[in-house]
Amino acid sequence: MATFLYRCPADGDLELRWPVGTAPGQVRCPACAGHARRVYTPPLVSGGSRPAMAMIDRTERTRGEPEVVTGPPPRNRAQRRAALNPAWQRLPRP
């Protein structure tokens, strides 16, 4: 089953579920019994880059419970780099 979007001129958008390949181009609006035409929209697939999707996921996760900040960010570049990835602390220094 797939969800299809239909638009009624009087009542706005409505979503209906039909088996794939059987959705009609026009249906009766359940509110006013008028004609609602099918609206073609892009499929809901995740096509974003990994960093962008990770940022969106992190934002959604912290919506109700923000991450706790324990202190200000490091001042110098080496400390910032080490804070991003603790494994970088073991690298030799120039």
pLDDT digit string, tens, across residues 63-81: 887 777 788 766 676 666 6
Most distant CA pair in the chain, distance = 76
- CATH number of the domain where residue 27 is located: 2.20.28
Phi, psi dihedral angles at 25 (to 5 degrees): -80, -15
4 token code pair:
């299809």
Three-class SS of residue 27? strand
Domain for residue 27, yes or no? yes
Model-level pTM?
0.47
Domain for residue 33, yes or no? yes
Domain count across the chain? 1
Domain for residue 15, yes or no? yes
Three-class SS of residue 77? helix
Average pLDDT score over the chain: 83
